[in-house]
Structure 1
Amino acid sequence: MKQQTLVGFGLTLVSAFLFAAAGPVAKAMYATGWTPGSVVLLRLLGCAVLLALPTVLAMRGRWSEVRTHWRMLLVYGVVAMAGVQGLFFMAVEHLTVAVALLLEMTAPLMIVFWVWLRTKARPSLLTFIGMAVSMSGLVLVLDPRGAQLHLGGVLMALGAAVCLCAYFLVGAKTDIQIPAVAMTGIGMGIGAGVILALWPTGLLDYEFRTADIALGEISVPWYVGVFLIVMATGGAYLTGIAGIRLIGATVSSFVNLIEVPFSVVVAWLVLAELPVLMQLAGGVLVLGGVVFIKLGENRSPAREVLVDDEAAGDSAVRDCAAAEPLDTAAAALPVGAGEAARSA
């Protein structure tokens, strides 16, 4: 396996772990009265502020790239940052977290079929086997048995999956000469602006609290919780973008599924939420599926995802906008899985 691939896998695994690590912190904040809108806003805004100076330094002499690819950057901020989070939290108003997350994590399947459609190169049998194994493992980890389905909630969760595809597809574009730190900083700033603009609409609930937050056996001030989430989020997106550029959108999106069993383990360590044997078995299946998918990619004809800046931007915005709901705001929810952390 080439060194580039190993580094890409490593960065994507670090990204998945950091996203998962933010979940228990968000859950602890919700327990004290924080709501999704407030956590999402501070998370995006905090990352944008934290990365402002590194972004400016990294973009010296490269601002022409922003002018050239402004549509793609707008898609990344609106769809991949704000869209994923907003739609996910509005979905969990009508669905359990497990079901909403399971639907959102169909994004890797969407990417495989999107690449197949665009390149006309059929994925290998190993890739299909890996897809089935990974999704089976995901079902075991999330255990959605007995959940009630709501059509609006299902559509919103699938809309979040479409927006999540944009995160991987835009991040995989190697023709954009914008460093990962700048891509993250600019995207966070745009996403924070979108979430802030939604405040008057009532689509998301914004409640802030100053009570201490319980993390396992210790209590920390509220600003420590915000700091932990901001640091985990910024690090997750930085390593995630760098990893995507090395191993591509398809493989990285499936490696990212490991975030779910990671979140179960982190919740066990931090919140004493003990995983059951079925969840551990599901985590093993997710890992096994990723191996099959990578082997399948190696045996497939070389394929490159060619996404035209303007066409991709218009398509992603249309898809995400079509999925946006018209009903009420999302209520506060307990975050029990990794992507809920990304959407926290």
Structure 2
Amino acid sequence: MSRSTVLGFGFVILSAFFFAVSGPVAKALYGAGWTPGSVVLLRLVGSALLLAVPTLAALHRRWRLVRRHGKLLLVYGVVCMAGMQGTYFVAVQHLSVAVALLLQMMGAPLIIVAWLWARSRRRPAAITVVGIVVSLAGVLLVLDLRGATLSVPGVAAALASAACLAVYFFVSSHQSNAIPPLAFTGLGMLVGALTIGVAVATGLMKGRFSASEVDFAGAVVGWWLPAGLLVVFTVGAYVCGIVGLRHIGATVGSFLNLVEVPFSAFAAWLVLAEALTPAQMVGGLVILAGTVFVKLGESRAGSRVAVAAD
């Protein structure tokens, strides 16, 4: 693998880790009386404020880039920030976290592959198909679905979140986007915060906050500690995601992001005392193996296209 690919893998894995840790932290806030709308609004407003100064610095004398990529930025903020987080937390209200995460994580890569297949009219390489099957098998190993119940609204919200996640991979990997990753994230957070703010103000999402103490990682702490960590993890997840996806692309990135599932299991064990199982550990390794197959398949497909062009 090239240095760029290795760098991309590293940043996407780090992004997946930050996303994964955010879930259990948010769940700790739920226990203190917070709602999905309040948690998402906190994440976006806090992240936008945290990135305000770096965003302004990165865009010094470069505001023309914002005008040039305004539509892409709007999609990123509304769909990838507000839409992806909002629909996921709605899904969690109706489904178990395991099922909601399964539908989101499995749905996004399949949507991406199907979209690229329909757009290019080229069937994915056999090794890519093998990578898809192996990666999804790894997810099934990590998630314990025994006794799970489904609901139509929950499934619809989880699939909507998967579609938003697919858009996130496409937008984040956009090679022509010249806005610096830090600034792009900061502006996206602002657009997403405004979107969720409207949803909460109109009653589309419930936004109940609480100043009660929180049971967090085996200790009772003030609400501000998990809230602050949630903001920091959110910023890290999106910034690392953009940097990594610009190196490895949407297809590979979407499958590599499946490592978020075992990361979530580990974070749940650390923060919420939910134990890991041997199957979950094996599942994480299987997901990584499947991602390597997908990358190999994409590389071979690119080589065939290059040869055909010659």
**TM-score range relative to shorter protein:** over 0.9
Superposed displacement of residue 194, structure 1? 0.6
Whether the aligned pair in 2 keeps the contact of 1:74 and 1:190 (CA below 8 Å) is yes
Q: State the partner residue of 1:256.
A: 257
Q: Whole-Å Cα distance in 2 between the matches of residues 244 and 219 of structure 1?
A: 37
Matched, 1:200 2:220: no
Which runs of no fewer than 5 residues in structure 1 stay unpaired?
A: 305-344
Q: Whole-Å Cα distance in 2 between the matches of residues 22 and 150 of structure 1?
A: 24
Whether the aligned pair in 2 keeps the contact of 1:251 and 1:290 (CA below 8 Å) is yes
Superposed displacement of residue 92, structure 1? 2.6
1:24-47, Cα deviation, whole Å (9 max, x unpaired) = 221211111111111110110000
The residue type paired with residue 276 of structure 2 is P
Q: Whole-Å Cα distance in 1 between the matches of residues 167 and 191 of structure 2?
A: 15
Superposed displacement of residue 118, structure 1? 1.8
Q: Whole-Å Cα distance in 2 between the matches of residues 189 and 291 of structure 1?
A: 35
Q: Whole-Å Cα distance in 1 between the matches of residues 272 and 91 of structure 2?
A: 24
Superposed displacement of residue 163, structure 1? 0.9
Q: State the partner residue of 1:182.
A: 183
Q: Whole-Å Cα distance in 1 between the matches of residues 57 and 79 of structure 2?
A: 25
Q: State the partner residue of 2:111.
A: 110
1:269-323, Cα deviation, whole Å (9 max, x unpaired) = 232211122222222221111111111112112599xxxxxxxxxxxxxxxxxxx
Q: Whole-Å Cα distance in 2 between the matches of residues 224 and 90 of structure 1?
A: 24
Q: State the partner residue of 2:244.
A: 243
Which runs of no fewer than 5 residues in structure 2 stay unpaired?
A: 306-310
1:154-212, Cα deviation, whole Å (9 max, x unpaired) = 22211111111111101111111100001100110000001000113322221111122
The residue type paired with residue 79 of structure 2 is V
Whether the aligned pair in 2 keeps the contact of 1:121 and 1:301 (CA below 8 Å) is no
Q: State the partner residue of 2:78.
A: 78
TM-score calculated relative to the size of structure 2: 0.94
Whether the aligned pair in 1 keeps the contact of 2:36 and 2:90 (CA below 8 Å) is no
Q: State the partner residue of 1:340.
A: none
SS at structure 2 position matched to 1:214 = strand
Superposed displacement of residue 153, structure 1? 2.2
Q: Whole-Å Cα distance in 2 between the matches of residues 237 and 168 of structure 1?
A: 11
Q: State the partner residue of 2:136.
A: 135
Which structure shows the bigger proportion of residues in helix conformation?
2
The residue type paired with residue 95 of structure 1 is L
Structure 1 pair 47–261 and aligned structure 2 pair: CA distance change class (3 A): same
Whether the aligned pair in 2 keeps the contact of 1:25 and 1:229 (CA below 8 Å) is yes
Q: State the partner residue of 1:293.
A: 294
Q: State the partner residue of 1:329.
A: none
Q: State the partner residue of 1:95.
A: 95
Q: State the partner residue of 1:50.
A: 50
Whether the aligned pair in 2 keeps the contact of 1:15 and 1:237 (CA below 8 Å) is yes
- Paired residues for 1:218-229 under 5 Å: 218-229=219-230
Q: Whole-Å Cα distance in 2 between the matches of residues 71 and 243 of structure 1?
A: 22
Q: State the partner residue of 1:149.
A: 150
Matched, 1:21 2:10: no
1:51-108, Cα deviation, whole Å (9 max, x unpaired) = 0111111112221121122111111000001011111222233322221211111101
Q: Whole-Å Cα distance in 1 between the matches of residues 95 and 25 of structure 2?
A: 22
Q: Whole-Å Cα distance in 2 between the matches of residues 96 and 72 of structure 1?
A: 33
The residue type paired with residue 34 of structure 2 is W
SS at structure 2 position matched to 1:178 = coil
Q: State the partner residue of 2:308.
A: none
Q: State the partner residue of 1:12.
A: 12
Cα root mean square deviation, aligned = 1.6
Whether the aligned pair in 1 keeps the contact of 2:173 and 2:246 (CA below 8 Å) is yes
TM-score calculated relative to the size of structure 1: 0.85
Superposed displacement of residue 216, structure 1? 1.8
The residue type paired with residue 237 of structure 1 is Y
Deviates more, 1:117-126 or 1:190-199: 117-126
Q: Whole-Å Cα distance in 2 between the matches of residues 295 and 222 of structure 1?
A: 45
SS at structure 1 position matched to 2:302 = coil
Q: Whole-Å Cα distance in 2 between the matches of residues 88 and 26 of structure 1?
A: 12
The residue type paired with residue 43 of structure 1 is R
SS at structure 1 position matched to 2:252 = helix
